[in-house]
Amino acid sequence: MNRRRLFCVRSHSRLERIQLSAARRLPKLIFSPEGSEKLFTHHHTGRIMEGNKKANPSSRDLISTLPDDVLCYILSFLTTKEAALTQVLSKRWSNLFQLVPILDFDDSLLLNRRMGREQTKVFMEFVERVLFARVKNSSPVKKASFKISHLDLHERFDRVPLWVKRVMDLGASELCLSFGGDFKYVSFVLLYCDLKSKALVNLRIGRVYLIHHDGTFPDSVSHTLTTLFLDSVQFTYGKPGFEAILSAFPNLQNLRLHESKEWYYWDGSVSSPTLKRFVYRRDDDTSGPKPCVKFDTPGLAYLEYSDVVAAKYENLRLDSLVEARLDLLLTAGQIMRKNAPDNVGFVPGDVSTLFMGIRNVKILCLSPDALDTLYYRGGEIPVFNNLISLSLGSDRPHGSPYIFKKLLPSLLLKAPNLQTLIIKGLGHYVKKGWEVGWHLRLSLDDMYDALSSSGLKVLQINGYEGTGEELSHMECFLGTLPHLEMVRVTHKGVDDGERRRLVNDLLCLTRASPKCKVQVMKESA
């Protein structure tokens, strides 16, 4: 049996599963419950849809009455392999497949894994048939995704650049390239020139070496690209490094960098007049602190920064910054050697310059590690005159309760226009027993002074459990904040009786503000 015939036979046996998969992914408004039940059911004879008509003459093939653009929209929810199976239905479906604007190729979705290496050849031939037909028929592509895990290095280097070029020539505005497999270091080498495009707007690449052929700064590759996500990507061999990214995509507005173990290549410097959003996250601290971090980004409005605290921060041009989310991790040396003289092992890592650079933000989110960093290495907290929303903690609470209670009054006093305070994991910060080992006492006078002078209007507590310690602190908040208008409390899954207890306990607390309302909601999964 040749491959084409084998493909068609398997298509019939798998079509019902694919139709059901499409039905689950589609918006509910496309089909009525009755219609969808008729559309995605067939008899044990294996005859699809047509068999249903013969068995039940009154039933209608509702899907065939839909216009072509709606059917193409339906097919776009499937992978390209799944969408291709619909070609066996009729000539109309074969033509529709060529009009689907989204291509999604994934070599992990192999038709028969028992075929081994032969199956990768089938996958490559399938991709090239689809792309060849698109070029032949001049069928445009809006979005293309290639998830490559099973092709060997030779097959990747030989085929993938040609595939990318074809979808670029077909006008793709979105491209995703993701490489996996058992390759520890080299997964794929991608040249900047492979991404040459006049239509590309959104690009995501993972686990590749992105280089210029001669190691110099590349010319502009795409003036249209505005969004770039680099997931474990080495930018080039040595210099020019990260600057080459900004040179290749001069109008970049949204940049996201994710670095994982053994894939740390950002040097800590960003310089761009067009960048509006920048997200940097790395998985662990195995590579140690960066020598220096610079944000020369006068147009940046959103910053999400998760990293080990750098040795120093400088050239911070963050004049337009509206929202900052910081997750800063200190090394043991940065904690223990912060006050040591230079000649006996001082470890650098001062974040006071960083907090001064973001002092004009309106929204600030600090993780538990960022709070620890601010306490140990932050110096004097600057005044945040524009700050209206402050979020502290995380969905996985950790960190020092002492530091949380020590910094909260200072942060409230340094944000005179603060309107919303969000505390994630209050139960962690108020539980008993944390004082052991600290040998320190906290004065509650600072807390009461900060709360009573605050103009806070909204207090949100996430992950509330209703313990006695939490209720005691809620009593302090509600009984001291004079301008509070809304208290939102989200709790984890409990029964209705437990929820009523939480509500009643909170409603019984004395409130300093007569306008204060209490709202209790269940946390979404």
Residue indicated by tokens 């491959």: 3
pLDDT at 296 over 80: yes
Per DSSP, 234 falls in state B
Any domain includes 484: yes
Neighbours of 469 (CB within 10 A): 14
Tell me the pLDDT band of 112, cut-offs 50, 70 and 90.
low
Q: How far, in Å, CA of 133 to CA of 95, rounded?
A: 11
| Structural domain count of the chain | 1
Q: Is residue 509 part of a domain?
A: yes
Q: Is the dihedral of CA 446, 451, 452, 454 positive or negative?
A: positive
pLDDT tens profile 121-180:
888 999 999 999 999 888 899 999 999 888 887 888 889 999 999 999 999 999 999 887
Asked, for residue 470, whether it belongs to a domain, the answer is: yes
Spatial distance between the Cα atoms of 384 and 72, rounded to a whole number of angstroms: 51
Specify the pLDDT at position 394: 87
Q: Is 459 exposed, middle or buried (0-12, 13-18, 19+ CB in 10 A)?
A: buried
> Is 138 part of any domain?
no
pLDDT per position as a tens digit, 45-94: 333 344 444 445 445 567 777 888 888 888 888 888 888 888 777 778 87
Structure tokens at 303: 């910053």
What pLDDT was estimated at residue 447? 84
60-66 LR contacts (CB < 8 Å, sep 24+): 62/31, 62/35, 62/38, 63/39
**What are residue 147's DSSP bridge partners?**
106, 178
471, part of any domain: yes
Distance of alpha carbon 33 from alpha carbon 517, whole angstroms: 41
Which residues span the domain enclosing 510? 419-429+442-524
Residue 397 lies in a domain: no
Residue 377 has pLDDT above 60, yes or no: yes
507 within domain boundaries? yes
* Domain contains 364: no
CA–centroid distance for 268 within its chain: 20
Rounded to an integer, what distance in angstroms lies between the CA atom of residue 285 and that of residue 191? 29
Q: Please tell me what DSSP assigns to residue 280.
A: E
Alpha-carbon distance of 221 to 247, in angstroms, equals 8
Average pLDDT over the chain reads: 80
Judge whether 235 and 265 are in contact, CB under 8 Å: yes
